[in-house]
Amino acid sequence: MINITPLTIVGRNVNEVYKEAMWKMPIFGSKEGSRNGLVMVSNVPVISTYERPMERILFNANRDANPFFHIIESMWMLAGRNDVECLSLFNSTMGNYSDDGVTLNGAYGYRWRAHFDHDQLRWVIGELARDKTTRRAVLGMWDPYTDPQYVYMGGKDAPCNTHVYFRVNMGALDMTVCNRSNDIIWGCYGANVVHMSFMQEFVAQAVGIPVGSYHQFSNNWHIYEQHFHLLQDNDDALDLYKTNDLSHFDLLGGGAPLELLMELDIFLEGMRDGTFIEIEFKSPYINHVLVPLVYAWRAYKSKDIPHALARIVDIQDDAVSMACMKWLERRLYK
């Protein structure tokens, strides 16, 4: 009998959900072709739920997620940018997804903040602040006017995440993200959980309420052949959130939401040419998480490993600092 019931995976954080996804995919999935090669895909939509979205760091060593890139890309999104150059400092393959080598058509942050000629983040925050019972706090990423033609013309970067629903539930901000096509390695449990949970944290803190649950609805939930080996992942490392008292550095830290967004853009622009070291930022998150993170990355790329390790220690978010340290150690001692 064909299963027609959506698959649900619920966990405390991305580490629990990822581990369950790896053994469930071979049970609920089947192999088929795609425009990018052989995939294993779930026969039904999948809902992944994170009870603690701010525990967003995936520590699995075999997956080897790059925390430097994921954190910076998340800030790039909040700043509403779509330039390739900024991200290419941390991931040289980003240009492969650009049609002109300069901008990314489906850049989520740009779609949140500018693509539709108004700032959707500001609107969502205002709507939730005005009415905590609202069911209309919706953010869109798929453009029904431009994306169909873009897809028809063979564009490289049509948005996979299409829209987001926000809801105040029992005094906390829940978020549901809808995704048309979700690679569970690079997308769902890699970049998506980091990017979207930062947006959820930003909106919740701007409204002045706690972060609730994060639900990701994946209409096409798949894994590419090059990652099939991860389905037999035997990395039984304990969830470091559970085994360590990891501090979390709040994104806003009591500051003004719009001020952070403006400073993030200034920081990222300065990061491209190195002038960020000359700027005094008001944001504690920029000063105590992003600045040492970028210093550490620059030292790593310059092969100044002692300096890179020293700056990682300066990152005042325990999970980010630990993930960056472990990522770097895997490159030093492999």
**Which residues participate in catalysis according to the annotation?**
160
End-to-end CA distance of the chain: 46
- Alpha-carbon distance 93 to 190, whole Å? 16
Residue type, 87: L
Tokens of 247: 């501090």
- Alpha-carbon distance 273 to 196, whole Å? 27
Tokens of 300: 């790593």
Residue with tokens 């990701």: 216
Count of CA atoms in the C-beta half-sphere (13 A) of 20: 16
- Alpha-carbon distance 331 to 334, whole Å? 6
Contact (CB, 8 A) for 296 and 312:
yes
